[in-house]
């Protein structure tokens, strides 16, 4: 079965063609990093305009690279949330129009769930359930108990900033370009992670929830004092600050993830989202618990992409035996 997937939830436009939920024939992603860099974060209006500009050229490219014509596609899959409303509408309407014109089914999938499906696509052999899913991206931070594809329990999530967003904001505070994650990782390599003692954010009565905004503010105050307009305090070392921030954020994620896995007697942990590109995160998990089995998305499937949307769309279509109606709405928030 050939599935064409569409991703447009935030600042990446993606179209991919995937056979039988796993074999990627093409996976085209147009990133908008250049567009949003000068603003230090995603500007929704600009993101939508860019999605409109590139979505059809990317569609042509994806078909060409896969050596497929549109009438060979069996199913159109799209991420219909969570994300920016205008951005979602562009991908969703594109998928609906293509399905209608080709008289083929169409299905909407959850972008966060797709980040975890990306891991299942990354390994040749099937991964057995149950697993613990950990989503660490620019828009989301969540711990999800995965009983099977489509059968989940949300254990914890962020109550404010997502972890990737915290990396981006701390990078901005340090004067580093967007997106900040790779910049912080590189700077932290030269720093001492024990130089500044920050605390991970705790949410009262909810041991698996995350809060990163306090940590980000602690970095700001360390750098500039309580008066955020002040210039860099000269004695502050930016590399130590980046390393200490990164260490604190990751120790928090690792502690809560392993606690959740141990409580649920789960051995296999799946990771999704852009922050999983960070090598230090992988090292720290290995140091914290060598017995667990860690599964990471492959290159090209960690950041936002449409292959994971096509793959997950295929799985849901198989289970349900039918697609969604053309009245499917975009959802800026989706709960599990
Ligand atoms: O998964 P993704 O494309 O975004 C959403 O779905 O929201 O991930 C983008 C995020 C950005 O916040 C970026 O700074 C972060 O992933 N990121 C990293 C690294 N590479 C990307 N964070 C930490 N370390 C990295 N190496
Ligand atoms: Zn994402």
Summarize pLDDT for 79-112 with one digit per residue, the tens. Answer: 999 999 999 999 999 999 999 999 999 999 999 9
Does residue 114 surpass a pLDDT of 90?
A: yes
For 188-225, write each residue's pLDDT tens digit: 999 999 999 999 999 999 999 999 999 999 999 998 87
Residue 336: which pLDDT band, with cuts at 50, 70 and 90?
confident
pLDDT of residue 41: 80
Say yes or no: CB of residue 11 within 6 Å of ligand 1: no
Tell me the average pLDDT of the chain: 94
What value, to the nearest 5°, has the Cα angle with vertex 185 and ends 278 and 170?
115
Among 1, 4, 64, 2, smallest CA distance to 306 is for: 4
pLDDT of residue 233: 57
Question: How large is the average pLDDT for residues 275-291?
Answer: 97
Say yes or no: CB of residue 185 within 6 Å of ligand 1: yes
Residue 316: which pLDDT band, with cuts at 50, 70 and 90?
very high
- Looking at the DSSP bridge assignments, the partners of residue 6 are 15, 78
Residue 228: which pLDDT band, with cuts at 50, 70 and 90?
low
Nearest atom, ligand 1, residue 168 CA: 14
Ligand 1 pocket test, pick from 140, 303, 309 with the greatest ligand atom count within 8 Å of Cβ, gives 303
Q: Phi/psi zone of residue 222: left (φ > 0), alpha (ψ -120 to 50 degrees), beta?
A: alpha
For 60-84, write each residue's pLDDT tens digit: 999 999 999 999 999 999 999 999 9
Question: How large is the average pLDDT for residues 34-52?
Answer: 89
Ligand 1 pocket test, pick from 109, 138, 185, 252 with the greatest ligand atom count within 8 Å of Cβ, gives 138
Residue 40: which pLDDT band, with cuts at 50, 70 and 90?
confident
For 240-258, write each residue's pLDDT tens digit: 999 999 999 999 999 999 9
pLDDT of residue 34: 86
What value, to the nearest 5°, has the Cα angle with vertex 15 and ends 9 and 18?
120
Which position has the token pair 């502050």? 236
As a whole-number percent, the residues of the chain with pLDDT over 90 amount to 89
Which position has the token pair 């959740």? 260
Residue 37: which pLDDT band, with cuts at 50, 70 and 90?
confident
Say yes or no: CB of residue 303 within 6 Å of ligand 1: yes
């Amino acid at each position: 079965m050939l599935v064409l997937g569409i991703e447009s939830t935030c600042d990446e436009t993606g179209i991919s063609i995937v056979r039988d939920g796993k074999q990627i024939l093409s996976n085209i992603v147009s990133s908008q990093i250049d567009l949003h860099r000068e603003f230090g974060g995603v500007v929704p209006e600009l993101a939508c305009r860019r999605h409109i500009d590139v979505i059809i050229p990317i569609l042509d490219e994806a078909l060409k690279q896969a050596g497929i014509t549109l009438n060979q596609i069996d199913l159109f899959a799209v991420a219909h949330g969570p994300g920016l409303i205008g951005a979602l509408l562009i991908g969703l309407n594109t998928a609906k129009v293509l399905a209608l014109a080709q008289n083929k089914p169409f299905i909407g999938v959850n972008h966060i769930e797709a980040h975890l499906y990306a891991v299942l696509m990354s390994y040749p052999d099937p991964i057995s359930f149950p697993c613990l899913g950990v989503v660490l991206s620019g828009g989301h931070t969540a711990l999800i108990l995965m009983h099977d594809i489509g059968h989940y329990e949300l254990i914890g999530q962020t109550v404010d900033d997502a972890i990737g967003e915290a990396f981006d904001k701390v990078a901005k505070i340090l004067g580093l370009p967007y997106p900040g994650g790779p910049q912080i990782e590189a700077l932290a390599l030269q720093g001492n992670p024990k130089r500044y003692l920050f605390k991970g954010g705790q949410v009262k009565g909810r041991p698996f929830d995350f809060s990163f905004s306090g940590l980000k503010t602690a970095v700001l105050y360390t750098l500039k004092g309580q008066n955020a307009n002040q210039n860099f305090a000269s004695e502050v070392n930016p590399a130590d600050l980046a390393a200490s921030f990164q260490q604190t954020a990751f120790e928090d994620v690792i502690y809560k993830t392993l606690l959740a896995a141990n409580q649920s007697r789960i051995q296999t942990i799946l990771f999704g989202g852009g922050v999983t590109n960070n090598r230090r995160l992988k090292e720290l998990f290995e140091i914290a618990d060598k017995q667990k089995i860690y599964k990471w998305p492959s290159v090209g499937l960690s950041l936002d992409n449409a292959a994971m949307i096509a793959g997950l769309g295929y799985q849901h279509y198989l289970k349900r035996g039918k697609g969604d109606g053309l009245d499917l709405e975009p959802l800026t928030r989706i709960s599990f």
